[in-house]
Every structure is written in C-alpha cells, then in structure tokens.
Chain A
Amino acid sequence: MSRRAAGLAWVVPALALVGVFVYFPLVENFGFSTLKWDIFSGSQEYVGLGNYAKLVDDPVFWTSLRNNVLFAVVSIVFQVFGSLVLAALIEGVRSERWQRALRAIYFIPCAISLTVAGLLFYFIYEPNLGLLNHLLEAVGLDGLRHAWLGEEGTAMPAVMAMSQWQGFGYSTLLFAVAIQRIPREIYQAAALDGTGPIRRFFHVTVPLVREMTGVLIMLTISGAFQVFNEVMVMTSGGPNNSTQVLGTWLYRSGFVRNDFGYAAAIATVIFVVTLAIAVAQLWVARRRRVEW
C-alpha cells in the first residue's frame, strides 16, 4: 500500500496546479456570483441570486447569448461541414505534394494569433484603406461599400467571417487525417462498383469520419461560447453592443464597469453551457465508435 501511495508523487504537481488554478477558482466563482462586488474599493455585499435576475433583464446579455449561438451555427456550417467537403476535395487531388501544400496553406492562419488576424481584418474592413472596399470598387460593386465594423448590421457578420478565415484550416487538417485513415480498399471497392465521387463522399467518407465530425461539432460549439479574442480586437463589442458575446460582456462588466459579481454570474452561464457540451461529448463518444 505504501508503495502504491508513493505512486501519487507522480501526479501531485499536476493535481496541485489544476486544483488550485482551475478547479478552485471555478468553485469560488459561484460564491462571487452572489455578491455585489466592487474590486477597487473592496466593498462586498451579498445579493443572493440578484445578479442572475439582473442578467435576465439585461438586453445586452441576450444579444451576447444570441451572438454566441450564431457563432456556433456559422462555425458549424463552415468549419465542420465546409471543412469536411474541402478535406474530401483535397484528398481527391492526385498529387500528394499538392495535397500537402494546400493543407499547409489553409492552416497558416491558425498558426498566427487571433490578435494578429483580428488586427489584419480590422484593416481589411477599414472603410478607406481597407482591401474589401477597394476590391468591391475594383469589380464595380461600389454600392456594396460599408464601414464594415462600424455599422450595426455588418459588424457581427464581418467578425464571424474573419473567424472562419482564421479557423477553417484546423478542421480541414483534422478531417484530412481522418479521411486518410479510411482503408483505401473501401474506396477502391466503391469505385469498382461504379460509384461516382459524390456518392463515394456520402456513402463512404461521411459515415466513416462521423466520429471526427461529432468531436469537431462539440469542439466548435464549445469554442463558440468562449469566443473573446476576435471580438475584443476588432470591435470590443461595439457598435452599440451589437457584437457583444458572453466573453466580452463578462470582461466589460467586470473590468470596465467594475461589477465583478455580475461578471461572475456571466461566467456561470458560460460554465453551464460548456459543461453541458462536454457531457454531451462524452456521451456521444461512448456511443459512436466507428469499427472496421
């Protein structure tokens, strides 16, 4: 027994780090969410579920939540289903060298930070010097010019478009790996049966990468509820809170408006959503094992 207990020495550093800096703050957060708390003056007052009641009445909270959901939907369309089709197209390219080059090119935006990418698109969307307006002008679509990040109607789509640009290479790469793991004989057999490429995609590729699809859907939803960086860099939630997401609204409530209890309540919402997704993911992973 003492020998077994000594084995714990291996996991103590990791447990200590994760316990103190990940789990403990998580638990503390619930306590904080019941306070009216000014961190600078240090005044704290117990308000029970008051912050949650305030949350329900806060229109910006609902805008944020809606933007997160929208982010999830758009990202699933582009970064899961779009990437799956794209990966299948790349795998259809005959030259392996070109396949590798394309995958690498598409991945580059994932290697650079969201801050750099966000700043870059801030300039691309800039009404005067930005590439987008100049491009529209060059092809004669002057009427479509916008101050993309400055107008309530276009800001959120513009931020989401940038996010898709930055992230699609990641899921494409993962789908490409998943497709490569499918035994070649299955494709050869399908081709011999006279199955065309489109049917092969739906009848062979899609079912055999469904485990990866499931994981990526979950990761994408979970990521969409944690979106922060791209919004912070490009619009800080503006104009008129139209691009606010839960992460930036949390940040603004706590660190700009000095309402830390309220920020903690928003954090609880993020926690509940991401936990639900994580549980769903475990459940799905247990049920769907692809066998061949």
Chain B
Amino acid sequence: MVTRLGFLGVIARLLLWAFLLCLAVVVIYPLLWMLLNGFKTNAEIFGNPFALPSHWGFDSYQKAWNRGVSNYLTTSVLVTVTSTVATVFVSAWAAYGLARVDIPFGKVVTGVILGGLMLAPSVALVPLVKMFQSMGLYNSFWALLILYTAFRVPFTTFLIRAYMLDLPREVDEAAEMDGCGRWTAFWRITLPMCKPIIVSTVLLHILFAWNEYLFAMVFTSGAGVQTLPVGLMSLMSKHGTEFPVVFAGMTIAAVPVVLLFFFGQRYIVRGLADGVGK
C-alpha cells in the first residue's frame, strides 16, 4: 500500500500504534500478574498488586503440584492424548470414506456426520448422564474419552474431508492400478498427503480437550479422574485462601497450551481458517 505520510498521517500512525500496544498490554498484563502471583506471598498479593515478588522461589508451584495438580495434569495429558488419537483416526477414516469412496447414501451419511457440528453438548447432557450411569462409566476416564471423541469427530472429519476433496484423485487411481487395496491407498498415500491438515486437527483437538470444562465437571467427581480445569476449581475451593498456590496451579495449567500455540501457530491458524472459511 502506498500512502504519503503527511503530518496527520504521522499522528494517525502513532495513535494506531498506541492503541494496538495498549490492547496488547491489556491482554498480556493479567497473564503476567497470574504468573508473578505464583511467586508472591499472601501478604504481598494483598499489599500492592502491581509490585514484583520480593523473593523468587518455586514453593507455591511445588505446593500446588503436590496438592493435586500433578494428578490433574496426568489425567489431562491422558485424556487429551487418547482422545486426540481416537478423534483424528476415526475422523480421517470417515473423511476418506466420504471424500474418496463411492458409498451408498453418501450425501445422507455426510450430512449426518457433519450435522453433529451444530449440536450443543449441553442439549445432550441429561440423557448422557443417564446413559453413562447405566453403562457404569460415570465418573471414569472412559466417559471423557468417549465424549470428547464423539463430539469432536464431526468438526475434525469436516476439516480432513475438505482437504481430501482438494487432493488429486488420480493418485488414488494410480495406486489402485498398481494393485494397492483401498486400505493401503489410505495408509500409504492419502494419509501422508494430508499431513498438514492432520497436524492442524491434532493441535485444535488438544486445545479443546485440554480446556474442556462442562463434560469434565459433570462426568467426573472423584480425585484421580479430574482434569485440570475441574481440578483447579477444587484447588480453589480447598485452598482458596492460599492465593499464591491457586495462581501457581493456574499458571501450570495455562503454560503447556500457550507453548503449544506458539510452536504450532501456523497450523492452528490454517485449521481455524479452513474450518470457518468454508
């Protein structure tokens, strides 16, 4: 863009920068405050909230860790990893069927699977509780694994299918000519070509599963099956007056996903853009 900067232009540009930077501060400062409060003492937190901690030790982080955060973290990692693998596999599988294979009632099947995108989890909540109670899976790791997978398959399938539709069909046909079965074609040819979108869907699913709260709160209650979001609330209710410990717990929950976002930014943006843009 070519603009000649007059006096007004310079002022406008300065104002623009001031605004963008102020907004960045509004976003960053609370997070920095959270991180720093994990290093302060209760008295310091109540004293001057803008001051830096007088002493940099990891005591509160260690306390938070020992008071359950390590368990919540383990559960979160376990639920996140397994549901990511399950969701992406089932979805890639279905996407291949929908995009590359001629199946009966193809349009209806596509509509049914992708239609799940539009349904709010809260609408199914009451029946799901009853269902999981009667299956004996209430308050278990399995409940979260199954729900996170079932509710995210539509979105993930949608993204992978859209990507597969854009891949050249000839590759499949050539593979089949060479005596490749459908199976082999899926595993050895189509899936590797879908690597970028697979990475995107993996990252988006991790962001979802790590942060999910409604299902985690309703379907798990005992310690040992609680994920970080629910665990933080129990930490809060049990040790709510020990503010540094709560802040440390929050920081521990937040750091992994922020790091993940920074390293996978490119893929997350692509996934979001493809998902919403189409």
Contacts and interface: CB of A to CB of B under 8 A. Distances in A.
B114 to A, nearest CB: 9
Q: How large is the interface on A (under 10, 10 to 19, 20 to 34, 35 or more residues)?
A: 35 or more
B218 interface: yes
B132 to A, nearest CB: 9
A9 B94 CA distance: 9
Nearest to A166: B27
B127 A173 contact: no
Interface residues of B, number: 90
Contact of A26 (B19, B24, B123, B207): B123
Contacts of B19: 89
Given A226-B120, A229-B213, A250-B125, A14 B102 contact: no
Contact of B126 (A32, A114, A169, A222): A32
A131 B20 CA distance: 21
B262 to A, nearest CB: 7
Interface stretch (A54-62, A69-77, A140-148, A266-274): A266-274
Nearest to A228: B214
B260 A111 contact: yes
A35 to B, nearest CB: 10
A248 to B, nearest CB: 10
Contacts of A123: 37, 243, 247
A164 to B, nearest CB: 11
B233 A104 contact: no
A17 B236 CA distance: 35
Given A29-B124, A134-B49, A165 B213 contact: no
Given A105-B24, A114-B211, A219 B153 contact: no
A283 to B, nearest CB: 13
17 contacts: A7-B97, A7-B101, A15-B109, A102-B24, A108-B27, A108-B28, A112-B31, A112-B253, A113-B212, A134-B49, A173-B272, A174-B273, A174-B277, A191-B1, A222-B118, A267-B125, A271-B119
